[in-house]
């Protein structure tokens, strides 16, 4: 019996079949599996504007393999375009809308299985969260990364180059002509931005989780190789959907994306120096998967994983296409296994293979791009969780992106919003030896937890990257680099110490000891708390007011409280 039989079998479902016939369903189709094709096509996002054509390839392959496709769409927000203004307030909340839309369409129509087509930003985790709620067999196949851009002299560039170029131009280090050259060349084609930013981090982690086919994170968009991957994914979801019930049960999303899959994702994230946003999203995914995982587990994994693949923004000359040519994510995982200690846990993939079977024959084809385990960039992973009186519930730093010292003590320069911070940085309020504090940008305080690529890029572009740190209860773009600490929890809006800081307070961080603290006495902290009233930003948006009322802080994945 198929799940879709509930809407298509029996005399009492004649009205349902009548409606289905109106969409083109034929007599011979009612005994076939119904496959949901969850597409995130939207014309304003470079990684998505071509996905309407991708879905046509996928639907044709589904039909050829004896199933019936039903395409539906989710929304999407382009973080780069929403960056630096109040449009970014909607980015993280869009993850919840996407998850809710997947759940709504799939469960309302009792579809048997799903193929999901995400690519960028919050769309990937939103679709994964929705798939976990529906819990039918699901194969993910992303649109794919874009190629790197190049300056006229051949230097590889990407979107992060342009953001940092704004800071360089503001500091007088480059001309307007150079900035325009960056602007026109950085994003040469469709696809998710070409570095190991949030989109490509999540797209590679789907391979580690076993919910996508090999190459999902690295094969370039708009290439014949990517089209082949779409067809393979469509064929595979049909193979699973047509299995006998007992066999098909193994491929339910929660059976694939289990605790082992979550831990594998974090391990690969560490090895490849992924975006700090992956921590936020994987915590949310773990909750949807009903997996017992929390922030403290991240450091335990990081200590056991060597960082062996360094990609833009951490190494600006290496992009996803280079990782693909060097052997892809399978090569990274194969090399990780040489360290032993069960860093990667054997687990079933939607391919039908276990993780070990899937990667056993993989090879590194270029050790300059993917390092061997004997020659890592670092003996520990590329992300860390810091704790201390400033982050009692944790804060996240992308250690792979640090350009200065891993131990830093400096004096606070405080801003109550990203806009204030940008203005202050441009006015020269931030000097070497400062710690920039940007608060009231957390899930509740923002609301929506804005990304801080604009201020971090200004700091880098103005030549302060090695001498300034930044902490925020907001988050960072995957393109961020430098000593940038985000997701500070508890956030300012809920009374966290970050909201009590004053200009001139001494702040200390030690990445290798996982410390983030304000050097303030207990007496001063108690005194400030007694007089503290958090800033509450006025909101016109009904949706953002709903979001602010329900959202948890970053240490809980910024998920909405269901009860």
Instruction: Please determine, for residue 347, whether its predicted confidence score (pLDDT) is greater than 70.
Output: yes
DSSP E strands in 4-47: the ranges are 34-39
pLDDT at 83 (0 to 100):
84
pLDDT of residue 478: 59
First-to-last C-alpha distance (Å) of the chain: 34
CA 85 from centroid of its chain's CA atoms: 20
> Is 454 tagged catalytic?
no
Per-residue pLDDT of 175-198, as tens digits, reads: 999 999 999 999 999 999 999 989
Taking Cα atoms as reference points, which of 92, 74, 73, 72 lies closest to residue 82? 92
- The residue-averaged pLDDT of 156-178 equals 91
Give the other-Cβ count within 10 Å of 259's Cβ.
15
Return the pLDDT at 562.
76
**Quick check: 477 pLDDT over 80?**
no
For residue 222, the tally of other CB atoms under 10 A from its CB is 16
CB atoms within 10 A of CB 539: 15
Domains of the chain by start residue, with CATH: 1-29 (no CATH), 32-148+189-359 (3.40.50.2300), 150-185 (no CATH), 384-556 (3.50.30.80)
Q: Per-residue confidence at 117, pLDDT binned at 50, 70, 90?
A: very high
What gap in Å lies between CA 169 and CA 185, rounded to an integer? 17
Question: 495 pLDDT exceeds 90?
Answer: yes
H/E stretch holding 551: none
Q: What is the pLDDT of residue 339?
A: 84
In this predicted structure, what is the pLDDT of residue 402? 78
pLDDT, tens digit, 9 for 90 and up, residues 233-287: 999 999 999 999 999 999 999 999 999 999 999 999 999 988 888 999 999 999 9
Query: Among the options 314, 477, 484, 489, which is catalytic?
Result: 477
Among 325, 269, 276, CA closest to 301: 269
Give the count of beta carbons closer than 10 Å to the beta carbon of residue 242: 17
From 318-322, 476-480, 538-542, the region with the lowest mean pLDDT: 476-480
Q: How far apart are CA 380 and CA 271, in angstroms?
A: 8
What are 130-156's pLDDT values in tens digits? 999 999 999 999 999 999 999 999 999
Q: Can you tell me the distance from the alpha carbon of 386 to that of 328, in angstroms, rounded to the nearest whole number?
A: 30
Q: How far apart are CA 174 and CA 419, in angstroms?
A: 24
pLDDT of residue 216 exceeding 70, the answer is: yes
Half-sphere exposure of 434 (CA within 13 A, CB side): 21
Instruction: Report d(CA 160, CA 482) in Å as an integer.
Output: 13
What share of the chain in percent tops pLDDT 90?
A: 84
Region of poorest pLDDT, from 336-340, 508-512, 552-556: 336-340
Per-residue pLDDT band for 479 (boundaries 50, 70, 90) equals: low
- Residue 116: strand pairing partners: 38, 140
Please state, rounded to an integer, the average pLDDT across all residues of the chain.
94
The rounded distance, in Å, linking the Cα atoms of 503 and 413 is 5
Q: How far apart are CA 307 and CA 373, in angstroms?
A: 8
For residue 82, how many other CB atoms are within 10 A of its CB? Answer: 19
Name the pLDDT band for 1 (thresholds 50, 70, 90).
confident
The reported pTM is 0.94
Cβ atoms 333, 210 nearer than 8 A: no
Please choose, from the candidates 41, 34, 22, the residue with its C-alpha nearest in 3D space to the C-alpha of residue 63.
34
Asked if pLDDT for residue 104 goes beyond 90, the answer is yes
Bigger pLDDT: 126 vs 475: 126
């Amino acid at each position: 019996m198929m799940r879709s039989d509930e809407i298509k079998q029996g005399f009492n479902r004649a009205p349902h079949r009548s409606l289905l016939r109106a969409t083109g369903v034929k007599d011979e189709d009612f005994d076939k599996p119904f496959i949901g094709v969850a597409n995130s096509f939207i014309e304003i996002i470079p990684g998505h504007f071509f996905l309407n054509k991708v879905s046509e390839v996928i639907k044709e392959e589904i039909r050829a393999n004896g199933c019936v496709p039903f395409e539906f769409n989710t929304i999407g927000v382009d973080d780069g375009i929403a960056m630096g203004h109040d449009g970014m307030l909607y980015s993280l909340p869009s993850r919840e809308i996407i998850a809710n839309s997947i759940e709504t369409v799939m469960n309302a129509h009792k579809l048997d299985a799903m193929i999901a087509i995400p690519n960028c930003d919050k769309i990937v985790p939103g679709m994964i969260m929705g798939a976990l709620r529906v819990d039918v067999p699901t194969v993910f196949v992303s649109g794919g990364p874009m190629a790197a851009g190049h300056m006229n002299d051949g230097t590889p560039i990407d979107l992060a180059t342009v953001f940092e170029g704004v800071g360089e131009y503001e500091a007088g280090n480059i001309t307007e002509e150079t900035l325009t050259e960056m602007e026109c060349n950085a994003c040469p084609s469709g696809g998710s931005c070409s570095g190991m930013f949030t989109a490509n981090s999540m797209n590679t982690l789907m391979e580690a989780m076993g919910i996508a086919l090999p190459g999902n994170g690295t094969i370039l968009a708009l290439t014949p190789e990517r089209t082949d991957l779409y067809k393979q994914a469509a064929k595979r979801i049909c193979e699973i959907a047509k299995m006998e019930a007992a066999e098909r049960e193994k491929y339910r999303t929660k059976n694939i994306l289990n605790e082992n899959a979550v831990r594998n994702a974090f391990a690969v994230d560490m090895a490849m120096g992924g975006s700090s946003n992956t921590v936020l999203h994987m915590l949310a995914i773990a909750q949807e998967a009903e997996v017992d995982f929390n922030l403290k587990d991240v450091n335990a994994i990081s200590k056991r994983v060597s960082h062996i693949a360094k990609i833009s923004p951490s190494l600006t000359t290496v992009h996803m296409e280079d990782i693909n040519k060097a052997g892809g994510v399978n090569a990274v995982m194969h090399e990780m296994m040489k360290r032993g200690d069960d860093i990667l846990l054997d687990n079933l993939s939607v391919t039908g293979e276990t993780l070990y079977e899937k990667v056993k024959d993989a090879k590194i084809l270029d050790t300059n791009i993917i390092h061997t385990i004997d020659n890592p960039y670092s003996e520990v992973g590329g992300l860390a969780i810091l704790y201390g009186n400033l982050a009692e519930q944790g804060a996240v730093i992308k250690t792979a992106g640090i350009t200065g010292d891993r131990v830093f003590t400096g004096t606070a320069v405080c801003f109550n919003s990203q806009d204030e911070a940008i203005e202050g940085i441009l006015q020269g309020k931030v000097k070497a030896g400062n710690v920039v504090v940007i608060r009231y940008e957390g899930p509740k305080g923002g609301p929506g937890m804005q990304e801080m690529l604009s201020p971090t890029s200004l700091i880098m572009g103005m030549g302060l990257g090695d001498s300034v740190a930044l902490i925020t209860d907001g988050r960072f773009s995957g393109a961020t680099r430098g000593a940038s600490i985000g997701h500070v929890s508890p956030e300012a809006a809920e009374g966290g110490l970050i909201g009590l800081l004053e200009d001139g307070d001494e702040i200390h961080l030690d990445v290798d000891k996982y410390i983030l603290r304000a050097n303030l006495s207990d007496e001063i902290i108690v005194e400030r708390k007694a007089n503290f009233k958090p800033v509450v930003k006025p909101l016109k948006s009904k949706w953002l007011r709903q979001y602010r009322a329900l959202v948890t802080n970053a240490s809980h994945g910024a998920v909405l409280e269901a009860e």
